[in-house]
Amino acid sequence: MLSSTYAQVRTPDKLVRTSNKQVRTSNNQAGTVNKIDSVMRLASKRGIFNGNILVAVRGKIIYERSFGYADGGRQRLLSPEMRFDIGSISKEFNGTGIMILKERGLLDLDDPIEKYLPGLPQWSQQVKIRNLINYTSGIPLFAPTATETDSLIWQNLTGLKKLEFDPGTAYIYNHYNVYLQMRIIEKLSGLSYASFIKQNILVPCGMMSSMIDYPADGLKMARAFDSEFRETPYAQGMTGWIRLPIMDLFSWVTNLDSYKIISHESYLELASNFPGGESSLGKTEFQDTQLSSHQHQGSNSNYEALFYNSPKDSIVIVMMTNNQQLKVHGIKSALLGVLNGETVTVPKKSVYLEVREKMLADLQKGLVYYKVLKDHHQDQYDFSFEIGDVISTGKYLQRRKKFNDAISVFKQALMLRAKPQDLSYAYELIAECYLKLDLKELAAANYQKALEMDPNNKNAEGMLAAFKKLD
Q: Of 84, 85, 89, 86, whose CA–CA distance to 280 is shortest?
A: 89
Angle between helices 246-257 and 91-103 (to 10 degrees): 40
Nearest CA to 352 among 234, 227, 233, 453? Answer: 227
pLDDT of residue 275: 92
Residue 386 and residue 426 in contact, taking contact as beta carbons nearer than 8 Å: no
Q: How high is the pLDDT of residue 471?
A: 67
Q: How far is residue 206's CA from residue 450's CA, in Å, rounded to a whole number?
A: 46
Specify the pLDDT at position 26.
Answer: 57
pTM of the model: 0.87
Question: Domains along the chain?
Answer: 4-80 (no CATH), 87-288 (3.40.710.10), 349-470 (1.25.40.10)
Q: What angle do CA 145, 278, 402 make, to 5 degrees?
A: 35
Q: What is the pLDDT of residue 146?
A: 59
Strand partners of residue 127: none
Q: At what angle do helices 175-189 and 150-159 cross, to 10 degrees?
A: 100
> 303 and 85 in contact (C-beta within 8 Å)?
yes
Helices and strands, counts by H and E, the chain = 17, 12
Q: Nearest to residue 20, comparing CAs of 98, 79, 106, 108?
A: 79
Query: How far apart (Å, rounded) are the C-alpha atoms in residues 66 and 318?
Result: 12
CA gap 189, 191 in Å, rounded: 5
Predicted pLDDT of residue 467: 86
pLDDT digit string (tens) for the chain, length 471 residues:
333 233 333 333 445 555 544 444 456 778 999 999 999 999 999 999 999 999 999 999 999 999 999 999 999 999 999 999 999 999 999 999 999 999 999 999 999 999 999 999 999 999 999 999 999 999 998 876 657 899 999 999 999 999 999 999 999 999 999 999 999 999 999 999 999 999 999 999 999 999 999 999 999 999 999 999 999 998 778 999 999 999 999 999 999 999 999 999 999 999 999 998 999 999 999 999 999 999 999 999 999 999 999 999 999 999 999 999 999 999 999 999 999 999 899 999 999 999 999 999 999 999 999 999 999 999 999 999 999 999 999 999 999 999 999 999 999 999 999 999 999 999 999 999 999 999 999 999 999 999 999 999 999 999 999 888 776
Sign of CA pseudo-dihedral 97, 102, 107, 112: positive
Cα 367 to its chain centre, rounded Å, is 27
C-beta separation of 417 from 391 below 8 A: no
Show the DSSP H helices in 134-245 as ranges.
150-159, 175-189, 193-197
Q: What is the pLDDT of residues 97-152, one digit of tens each?
A: 999 999 999 999 999 999 999 999 999 999 999 999 999 999 998 876 657 899 99
In contact, 241 and 212? CB cutoff 8 Å: yes
Within 190-275, residue ranges assigned H as helices are 193-197, 246-257, 264-270
Q: What is the pLDDT of residues 8-39, one digit of tens each?
A: 333 334 455 555 444 444 567 789 999 999 99
Cα separation, 316 vs 249, whole angstroms: 11
Cα separation, 202 vs 344, whole angstroms = 36
- For residue 154, the number of C-alpha atoms closer than 13 Å in the C-beta half-sphere is 11
Q: Quote the pLDDT of residue 10.
A: 31
Residue 5 falls in which region: left (phi positive, over 0), alpha (psi -120 to 50) or beta: alpha
